[in-house]
Amino acid sequence: MSRTSFTSPTATVVVSTEGYFDVYPPTGRTNGDKPAYRGRIAELGSGMRGLDDRLAVRPDSIALADAVRAWSDVHGTGAVRGDDGRGRDGNEEEAA
Q: Has residue 89 been placed in a domain?
A: no
The CA-atom distances, in angstroms, between 73 and each of 3, 69, 76 are 20, 6, 6
Structural domain including 28 reads 3-81
Give the count of domains, the chain.
1
Higher pLDDT, 29 or 96: 29
Q: Which pLDDT score, from 0 to 100, does residue 96 have?
A: 38
pLDDT tens readout for residues 27-77? 877 777 889 999 999 999 989 998 888 999 999 999 999 999 999 999 999
Q: Which pLDDT score, from 0 to 100, does residue 89 have?
A: 56
Q: Has residue 75 been placed in a domain?
A: yes
Q: Has residue 42 been placed in a domain?
A: yes
Label each residue of 46-62 as H, E or C.
Answer: CCCECCCCCECCCCCCH
Q: Which pLDDT score, from 0 to 100, does residue 83 have?
A: 85
Q: Which pLDDT score, from 0 to 100, does residue 95 have?
A: 42
Q: Has residue 9 been placed in a domain?
A: yes
Q: Has residue 94 been placed in a domain?
A: no
* φ, ψ dihedrals at 43, nearest 5°: -65, -20
Q: Has residue 91 been placed in a domain?
A: no
CA–CA separation, 18 vs 59, rounded Å? 11
